[in-house]
Amino acid sequence: MNPALDISTTTDRVHHTSKVRCHGVRHDPGGGGINVARIAHVLGAPVTAVFPIGGHTGELLTDMLEHSGVSYHSVPIADLTRESLTVNEESTGHQYRFVLPGPFVTHEEQDAVLQRLREVAASAQFLVASGSLPPGVPADFYQRVADLCRELGVLLILDSSGGGLTQVRYGAFLVKPSKRELREYVGRDIPTTADQIAAAHELIDRGVTQAVVVSLGADGALLATADVDQKFEAIDVPVVLSGVGAGDAMVAGITVALSRRWSLSDAVRYGVATGSAMLLTPGTAPCRPEDVERLFAQAAPPVDVTRSPARN
């Protein structure tokens, strides 16, 4: 619901007051759902992106998406599609990300997006709802998407934070929060693996979702279902060009693997490999399939986690 024209660039040092001279500017079509669609397309899956779009930034975004070969359905809105800026600081290796809130999307425009989504998703196996909600869109919007999926018999994979996650009460097949997003959801610190697994099961026990995948960055990932809890180790990537879009790539990898009828455990391992491959590309450039396959072959099998019986 909140696509972005992603701009990435590099400078020697980020500092206040004076001008920061940059070089090597790159533009990519972005936003969570579009990133997922681009990676799924690169991995060979038939995919269609659905999103609202407005203004000259929206036109540039759709031009680039069309050039990439990704199928899409855009819904015009009056306000301007946002931009997001990533600046890589060469002197320190730090990365700075500036994320704008996005356009105001009216109720009529929201309904138009849902109607287009209904038309496209009628023949889908999975629907991925990903990213932030822009101004004007109520926090329970993704619950409306979940209701649509239930009506159509489509499996919903949700990757959102804040109200976009907390306002979903039922209907998801899989939810992928980060550790921070999961901590915000349960409202307490979750420092250990047992804490994180217990927190993930709160979503399952409440009927929000059937499965939870917690992305842990350099610590790998966790999978929790009613039947199994597993820990997936991170894959060592010696040279990291950019961490932008790694979580979206993970979701894409999981979804593509599930569409191939892989087990959920193998799908998460493939997702970890896809997210790791994303670290090897600049900005939000899509990862390379050969990197995904190479890293997937290197990925260690998951380890079963014993869940503590005491959960809040």
CA distances from 170 to 111, 145, 215, 221 (A): 21, 11, 21, 23
Where residue 182 falls (left for φ over 0; alpha for ψ -120 to 50; beta otherwise) is alpha
248 carries an active-site annotation = yes
The answer to whether 71 touches 49, Cβ cutoff 8 Å, is: yes
Specify the long-range contacts of residues 105-110, CB closer than 8 Å, at least 24 apart. Answer: 105/1, 105/52, 105/77, 105/79, 105/134, 105/135, 105/136, 105/137, 106/77, 106/78, 106/136, 107/136, 109/52, 109/75, 109/77, 109/78, 110/1, 110/136, 110/137, 110/141
Angle, CA 71 vertex, CA 67 and CA 72 arms, to 5°:
100
Cα gap 80→116, rounded to integer Å: 20
Q: Where do runs of H (alpha helix) occur along the chain?
A: 32-42, 55-68, 107-121, 141-152, 163-166, 179-186, 193-205, 246-259, 264-278, 289-298
CA distances from 243 to 102, 250, 265, 305 (A): 22, 12, 24, 27
Task: Point out the catalytic residue in the list 6, 159, 248, 291.
Answer: 248
The DSSP call for residue 25 is E
Q: Which residues are catalytic?
A: 248
